[in-house]
Chain A
Amino acid sequence: AQKITQTQPGMFVQEKEAVTLDCTYDTSDQSYGLFWYKQPSSGEMIFLIYQGSYDEQNATEGRYSLNFQKARKSANLVISASQLGDSAMYFCAMRESSSGGYQKVTFGIGTKLQVIP
């Protein structure tokens, strides 16, 4: 089964509007974490936001917020007041426990967001 599912291959949003990018996950761990990364056309991966499985409040970072619904195993990214510079690929990812002392992170296939002027 897919660990991270992003069902929206592409999304369009009008500039200054809000947009929600969907992400569902699958894990049997009690302790895990969820991330969102932005990848512009240059290819660099930019960390946006993190939510721990025990965090009761939804994470927020400026215009980004993570809508965490633990029972539904969803971790949607909400971008408020979209800007042209938000056009990029967005990846949802999950950190799980692992042996061997390393952090195991699994990425979804991404959603391409295009902001329309």
Chain B
Amino acid sequence: SQTIHQWPATLVQPVGSPLSLECTVEGTSNPNLYWYRQAAGRGLQLLFYSVGIGQISSEVPQNLSASRPQDRQFILSSKKLLLSDSGFYLCATKRSDRGTYGYTFGSGTRLTVV
């Protein structure tokens, strides 16, 4: 079965500092990968998705970027964090254990920009 590893679990970063969040997937090959952000008290907003190595699509313009250097690795980055980048970041991939619908999520990274 699929497993998604995300780290770190929590992060406090000053405004203007860089960011790198990493997500790796086990138990599947050539997965579709997604980065979502959940602001406090809000739903999930799709930030980026990737259908293969080096293929990144952005859903919303923002201060963040994503990269996929390996098949099962997805990285979310920023060169200079803003206060508005605070939130809960979730990596996800398409579920494979029950049909072909829905996501498996990682445990998330709670980012606070101060």
Contact = CB atoms under 8 A, between A and B. Distances in A.
Interface of B: 32, 34, 36, 41-44, 46, 49, 51, 57, 88, 90, 92, 94-95, 98-105, 107-108, 110
A52 B49 CA distance: 23
5 contacts: A42-B107, A47-B95, A91-B43, A105-B46, A109-B42
Contacts of A95: 101-102
Interface string A71-106: 000000000000000000001010100001111111
A44 to B, nearest CB: 5
Interface of A: 4, 33, 35, 42-45, 47, 50, 52, 91, 93, 95, 100-110
Binding site secondary structure of chain B: strand
Contacts of B98: 47, 50
Contacts of B108: 43-45
